[in-house]
């Protein structure tokens, strides 16, 4: 029963009606007997700079952030975790004694899902990250920390990718890191052996005309992953499968980053398998 003492958590973003996060967190709260509720707040993008103050004013206990708020919230926070600072993006805000502390669980969730589902060790791989928004930068930072040989960030706005490259280069001086325009020719210039599609919404049509035939095939070849778990037919996944490139959908990342988010919110650990059962998504 929701009472005046029930803690309120939220997902803030736009659009968010497709999200599985409310179902996931509310069922976990119920199973573990935690007096809390999790809601979805579809906020206007033009109000992005006001999200931090809204968290304070409404007395939220914490929130997840998605597009387009992962970066805009940072100036209004009181602190950042190392992962959030490295990514320059926040997907979890925890309220700690009135202080808003930003975290980022996307990168760790992505790596955990890649290991669990495909047994992939990213060390030494040459990685193409499509999209330099909050998710793309978080995954690029996690890949850098895990010892990849190279990261190239492809983005429609090149300067945005270059800014992310500057941050990564300062934190990982041994990493080969660069930015490139999001174009078929730029992508096809190198035989990447790990590709992460972090584009969403209006960015997805940018992949029209891309080819995957230059990617190495077979069990030891390239891996193409897509962070958009809600898409029924993510761009180029079918083309990769037909070419013999291993593929991964984003649902595993959702479960692993969600488990880390839940622990930050509640102090209680849950496994990705628990979340898989909560959402009944064994067939994804």
pLDDT in tens, 83-115: 999 999 999 999 998 899 999 999 999 999 999
Q: DSSP E strands: which ranges in 157-271?
A: 176-181, 194-197, 223-226, 246-248
Q: What is the DSSP letter of 78?
A: S
Please name the fold of domain 7-104+254-279: Rossmann fold (3.40.50)
pTM equals 0.92
Please, where in the chain does CATH 3.40.50.10860 lie?
A: 7-104+254-279
- Region of residue 275 (phi > 0: left; psi between -120 and 50: alpha; otherwise: beta): alpha
pLDDT for the residue numbered 282: 42
pLDDT band per the 50, 70, 90 thresholds, residue 48: confident
Average pLDDT over residues 239-263: 95
pLDDT given for residue 284 in this prediction = 37
Q: Where in the chain is the domain with CATH 3.40.50.720?
A: 107-249
Task: pLDDT band for 239, please (50, 70, 90 cuts).
Answer: very high
Indicate if the alpha-carbon torsion angle 78, 82, 84, 85 is positive or negative.
positive
Fold of 107-249: Rossmann fold (3.40.50)
Active site residue 70: yes
- Of 14, 20, 28, 70, catalytic: 70
Q: Which helix (H) or strand (E) holds 243?
A: helix 237-243
Nearest by Cα to 225 from 188, 254, 267, 202: 254
pLDDT band at 276 (very low <50, low <70, confident <90, very high): confident
Run of H or E including 42: strand 36-42
Mean pLDDT rounded to a whole number for the chain: 93
* Residue range 237-248: mean pLDDT, rounded: 96
């Amino acid at each position: 029963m929701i009472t005046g003492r029930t803690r309120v958590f939220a997902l803030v973003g736009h659009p968010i009606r497709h999200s599985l996060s409310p179902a996931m967190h509310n069922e976990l709260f119920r199973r573990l007997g935690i007096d809390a509720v999790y809601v979805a707040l579809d906020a206007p993008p033009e109000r992005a700079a006001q999200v931090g103050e809204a968290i304070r004013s409404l007395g939220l206990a914490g929130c997840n952030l998605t597009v387009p708020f992962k970066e805009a919230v940072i100036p209004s926070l009181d602190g950042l975790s190392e992962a959030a600072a490295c990514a320059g993006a926040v997907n979890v805000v925890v309220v700690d004694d009135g202080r808003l502390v930003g975290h980022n669980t996307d990168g760790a969730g992505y790596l955990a899902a890649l290991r669990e589902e495909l047994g992939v060790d990213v060390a030494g791989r040459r990685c193409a990250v499509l999209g330099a928004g909050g998710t793309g930068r978080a995954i690029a930072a996690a890949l850098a920390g895990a010892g990849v040989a190279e990261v190239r960030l492809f983005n429609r706005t090149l300067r945005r990718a270059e800014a992310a490259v500057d941050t990564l280069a300062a934190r990982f001086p041994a990493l080969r890191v660069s930015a490139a325009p999001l174009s078929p020719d730029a992508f096809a210039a190198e035989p990447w052996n790990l590709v992460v599609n972090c584009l969403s919404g209006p960015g997805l049509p940018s992949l029209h005309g891309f080819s995957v035939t230059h990617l190495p095939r077979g069990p030891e070849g390239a891996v193409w992953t897509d962070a958009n778990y809600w898409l029924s037919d993510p761009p180029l996944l079918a083309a990769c499968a037909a070419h013999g490139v291993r593929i991964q959908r984003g649902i595993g990342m959702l479960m692993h980053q969600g488990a880390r988010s839940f622990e930050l919110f509640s102090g209680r650990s849950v496994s990705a398998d628990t979340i898989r059962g909560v959402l009944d998504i064994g067939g994804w």
